[in-house]
Structure formats: C-alpha cells, structure tokens
Copies of this chain bind each other. A is one copy, B any other.
Amino acid sequence: MPSTTDAEPGREPRSGPRGRARRGLPEGSGLSSSGGRRAPSVTGRVFSILEAFDGDHRALSLTEIARAADLPVSTAHRLVGELAAWGALERGADGAYRVGLRLWEVGSLAPRSVGLRERAMPILEDLYEAVRQNVQLAVRDGHEVVYVERLAHPDAVRLFSRVGGRWPLHPTAVGQVLLAHAPAAVQESVLAERLPSFTPRTVTDPVALRRILAAVRRDGVAVCDGMIDLAALSVAAPVRGEDDSVIAALSVVVPSPSDGGSGGGGIEPRTLVPAVRAAARGISRALGAPTAARSDAVTRRGGTRP
C-alpha cells in the first residue's frame, strides 16, 4: 500500500517564530547541551538551513543562518558551502546568501504549483483582464493555504499574502473553499484547533465556521469580508481535478464595501460571483474535471475559435 498521501498528519504547523530554537519546548532555559532532542540527520540540518529563509528574510549572512537553523557556525559553514556549490543558495557580492536559481528550478517542477499554474494561467489572465483587481490561485497543504499564483493590479487592494506564502484556512476565501472540500478528518482537526483572529470580523467559532463551510459547499463559492484585512473582500470558487476532487481554489480580492475608507469606486462583490465561478470551472475543465466538462456549452467563454 503506497498510502501516505491522504491521511496527512497536518505537517507540523510551520515551526515557531524564527530565531527561537527548534528543539522541543522544554523551557528549562539551560543550555541543554546534553538534554535537548534534535533531528540529527544531515538532511534535517540542510532543511533547517533552507527554513531559515522566508519572505522577510531573503538574504542572510552565515552567522544569521547558523543562528536561525540552530547550528554551530562551523557546521553551517560547511553545509552552506555545499548548498552554494550546487546552486541551492547563491552568495551575493555583499557576502549574504540568498536562495539560488537552481533550487527554484527544481521547485518549479512541483505539479501542485507550477503544473497547476501553467494550465490555469490563460484563464487567470482573462479573469484578471475582466476585473483588474487581485486574482489568486491557491492549494491546501495541511492546515494552511499556499498561494500558487497571483495577478495583482498596481491600483488594487494591497494584500498580505504572497506567492509561495502560507495562511491559515479559516479566514481566507480560498481557504474556506479548500477546507469545505477537504477530507472530513482534516476539517475536524482544523475545527478542533484554537483558530487565530486577525480582525474583529474573523470567524473563529467552530460552530459558525461549520455553518460557513456548509454554505460554501452548497453555493460553490466562498465570500470573505474583512477577515484578514478589513479593507479587503474576497470571493473564491473551487477548482477540480481529473477525479473531480477539489485540488485548488481561485479567488478575486476587491476593496471591501463595508470598509468605510478607501472602497469608493469599488465593485459590487455580488457581480464577481459568476465570473469567479466560471473561471474556476474553466480551469477545472482544462485539468480534465468531469463535471466541468459536462456543462461545456454554458461555461465556454468568448466566441468559439474557428
């Protein structure tokens, strides 16, 4: 039994705040030179070096890497040297290390991001042209959404998310779509967590969330108003794969009408629903989803090509 894929243990919730050692939690405060556990494989150390980089830390010195990865400098030096020799890291003229092109190349073979992206792109383009706002494509990984693609108009609402970035599932429209169609075990496990709140409008109550998820399944769209940022409202719809399961979600983010300030010339969110739904079906069809193919005539955009 090849197994593994489905049950998914939720992949350790994205290690704590950076800089904090990644050992256990046993405070103790002591240097713990003997007690502390550690995943002591070379591979593990390499990973912890890679994890030292994130959206806010794209360039790190050797010492910073060593500190973030909780490794002795000399060890970090050796490993970083190997990583840089292969091209996983690159060293700038300033001596700082950055993620290298080679690593990006391999990463760009990931079917769940780039593979998906390639097929979705033309349709995302069209949707973007139509709304001239933020258009996002995301997948679920464990208990989080990972943004795979994003087209952003310079004048559109500024978002907190980022291509390659992660967010919790419950306060984002894409997350709600993905959660609503996730295996029951995942849903329960998310609902059992204490969910973080970002604005007064963030829904964190399990009962309320459960109701929302049911609505999302019923309507085929999720609408999130000001749950992460009071100024933004997003509308998302599910993207289905060959086996008709939901593998991604598509969203448009516009200024929130309920946000007093900026939203002035905003679009009425209701009008976005058909466009988002149609685009999501379009992508599903491009991926070979059975149900999307059925209503072909209806969903087809623009004129037929001669």
Contact = CB atoms under 8 A, between A and B. Distances in A.
Interface of A: 2, 4-6, 11, 41-44, 46-47, 50-51, 53-55, 58-59, 79, 82-84, 86-88, 90-95, 98-115, 118, 121-122, 125, 128-129, 139, 141, 146, 151-155, 163-164, 166, 305
Contact of A94 (B2, B98, B146): B2
B43 A118 contact: no
12 contacts: A5-B93, A6-B93, A11-B87, A43-B83, A55-B109, A58-B115, A98-B110, A99-B106, A101-B141, A104-B107, A125-B128, A155-B305
A22 to B, nearest CB: 13
A105 B105 contact: no
Given A5-B93, A98-B111, A105-B146, 9 more contacts: A11-B87, A87-B141, A104-B107, A104-B108, A106-B107, A121-B151, A122-B153, A125-B125, A125-B151
A220 to B, nearest CB: 25
A163 B118 contact: yes
User: SS class of chain A's interface: helix, strand, loop or mixed?
Assistant: mixed
Contact of A103 (B5, B11, B110, B151): B110
B110 A114 contact: no
Contacts of A125: 125, 128, 151
A2 B91 contact: yes
A4 B87 CA distance: 12
Contacts of A141: 87, 101-102
Given A100-B110, A103-B107, A104-B108, A5 B90 contact: yes
Contact of A43 (B79, B94, B101, B155): B79
Contacts of A101: 110, 112-113, 139, 141, 146
Contact of A47 (B5, B11, B86, B110): B86
B109 A114 contact: no
List 3 tightest A-B contacts by C-beta distance, closest first: A107-B107, A108-B164, A2-B95
Contacts of A53: 106, 109
Nearest to A5: B93
B4 A109 contact: no
B99 A107 contact: yes
Nearest to A79: B43
A95 B3 CA distance: 7
Contacts of A79: 43
Contacts of A41: 42, 82
Contacts of A82: 41, 43-44
A227 to B, nearest CB: 23
Contact of A42 (B43, B139, B166): B43
Nearest to A142: B87
A87 B151 CA distance: 26
Contacts of A92: 2, 5
Nearest to A91: B4
